[in-house]
Structure 1
C-alpha cells in the first residue's frame, strides 16, 4: 500500500512539473485592456511595447490591445499624463483573455512661469536679426553617407569630426562593445511602425532607455562621440535619437571590422 501511495505521489508531482514546464513556454497573441486606475474607464491610444520581442501597438477605443508575447515577457505601457508601467506576462493572462491593466494619473506641481515674448518691430530685416538662431551645423565628408554635427564657432569641431572618421572605434568601443545585445535591437525597433510612432511623439528618452537598457547619460555619450551637437541631443525627438544611434552603430561596425 505504501509503495502504491509513493508511486501515486510521484506521478502527481511529475504531472505538475510537466504542466508548469509547458506553461513557461506559452506564447502567442495576448489581449488585455488598459483602464484608468481612478475611474476604471478604458484608455484609448495607450502605447504598449513588448520589450523582449521589440513589438509595439496601441489600445483601441475600448482600451483593448493585442500583441505578440510569451510568458515572462515584459510589457511597457506609456500614456501622456499617466505613470509609465511595466507588466510581466503571466500564464493567467493567456488563460483568461480579460486582463485589466490600470494606469495611474500623474500629479504635477505647476511652478510659476515667466513668459518673455520676442520684441518684434514689424520690420523683417530687424526682427530676423533679433530672433535666436539654432547654432547646430553639420559637416559632411565626400565619400561617406553620414553628416556630422558640431556646435557654432567650436574650435574643436572639425578636429572632432576628423577624429571620429579616422579612429571611431577607439571612441565608441567602450560604449557599443558593452551592449551588443541591446544594439542588435536597433534594427527591430526601426522596423516596427508602432514603436516608431511612439518614439516620434516623445522627447523624454524614457522609452529608449527601456528598450535599449541604457542610461540617459549613455545615450548622450554615444551621440557626443558621434559628433552630434548639444542642440540636436536636447531638442530631437526619440525617433530622431534612435535613427542617430543606429546610424552611428552601423558605421562603427563597418569601421571596427576594418
Structure 2
C-alpha cells in the first residue's frame, strides 16, 4: 500500500457517513404509554404527517412506522391529548423510546336530554325527525353532486357560478395551498388514517395532515356549495372526501383555463 495514511482518512470519513445514512431513514419503533400510570396504551393512532402513512399501537403499546429524521409523528387517542413529536437520530439508535400521552380532564356540565316524542308509528315519527334540507344538484359531465341551501333557480345559479368563476375563493384557496392539497390522494389511500378520520368530528387531525386552518376547510366547502349542516355535522372522513372532490374539480377547471 503506497499511502496507508490516505486510506485511513478515507475510511474514517466514509464509515460515519454511512452509519448516519442508515439511521436517518427506515422503520421507526417506539412505545406509547399513559403519562399518569406508565401503562402501555393499545390502539393509539400514529400518523407520519410528512410521509402520510399511519399505524396503531399493539397491546404492549408498541408500534412501527416508516419515518425519517425530522419527520413529525402525530398521536391521537380517545380521552387523551393529541401530541406531535419530531423524529431524531437518537430515536433510531435507541429502540426503547417511550411516548407519553396525557389524559384530558373534562368538566362535565348538566345536560338536559329532550327525547323525540315518538308515537310508535313509523309514518308519524319520521316526520318529527330533523332532516337535511339542503338540495343537491348534479351537473352533466361532473362526477359529483353539489349542495345548495334551497331549491330555487337562484340556488342553481349559485352552484354554477361557484364552479365556473375562475376568481372565486375556491380557486384562490387551492392555488394558495397546492402542496397540502396534493396530500388528499395520499391520505385517502391509507386505511389506518381513513379509519381514524371516520371516528373524528373535530377537524383536529385533518388540519394537522393538510396543514390548513379549520376556517380554510370551511371556506373551501362553502365555495363548493356544501351546506352548513353538512360542514357542521360530517365526520372528518366525509369532509376529506368532500375536499377531494372539490380539488379534483378545481384541477379539471384549472387545466381548461
- When normalised by structure 2's length, the TM-score is 0.88
Q: Which residue of 1 aligns with 2:3?
A: none
Task: Summarize the alignment of residues 162-177 of structure 1 with structure 2, pairs less than 5 Å apart.
Answer: 162-167=160-165, 170-177=168-175
> In the alignment, which of 119, 122, 127 is matched to residue 121 of structure 1?
119
Is 1:244 the counterpart of 2:242? The answer is: yes
CA distance in 2 between partners of 1:214 and 1:241 (Å): 13
Shift in Å, 1:130: 2.3
Shift in Å, 1:36: 0.3
Shift in Å, 1:157: 2.2
Shift in Å, 1:158: 1.5
Shift in Å, 1:24: 9.9
Q: Judge conservation of contact 2:163–2:224 (CA < 8 Å) in 1.
A: no
Is 1:203 the counterpart of 2:187? The answer is: no
User: Which stretch has the larger CA shift, 146-155 or 199-208?
Assistant: 146-155
SS in 2 for 1:30: strand
CA distance in 2 between partners of 1:105 and 1:76 (Å): 16
User: Which stretch has the larger CA shift, 156-165 or 248-257?
Assistant: 156-165
Shift in Å, 1:129: 2.5
Q: For 1:2-43, what per-residue CA distance to the aligned partner results, in whole angstroms no more than 9, with x for missing partners? A: xxxxxxxxx9xx96xx75993697100000000000000000
- When normalised by structure 1's length, the TM-score is 0.88
CA distance in 1 between partners of 2:245 and 2:105 (Å): 37
SS in 2 for 1:222: helix
CA distance in 2 between partners of 1:62 and 1:29 (Å): 18
Q: For 1:152-207, what per-residue CA distance to the aligned partner results, in whole angstroms no more than 9, with x for missing partners? A: 45774222111123225533221011111111111111111111111111111001
CA distance in 1 between partners of 2:68 and 2:233 (Å): 36
SS in 2 for 1:49: strand
CA distance in 2 between partners of 1:98 and 1:211 (Å): 27
SS in 1 for 2:241: helix
Q: Which residue of 2 aligns with 1:231?
A: 229
Task: Summarize the alignment of residues 4-15 of structure 1 with structure 2, pairs less than 5 Å apart.
Answer: none
Q: Which runs of 5+ in 1 are unaligned?
A: 1-10
SS in 1 for 2:176: coil
Q: For 1:126-151, what per-residue CA distance to the aligned partner results, in whole angstroms no more than 9, with x for missing partners? A: 33322222213211112221100112
SS in 2 for 1:117: coil
Q: Which residue of 2 aligns with 1:257?
A: 255
Q: Which residue of 1 aligns with 2:98?
A: 100
CA distance in 1 between partners of 2:50 and 2:200 (Å): 21
SS in 2 for 1:203: coil
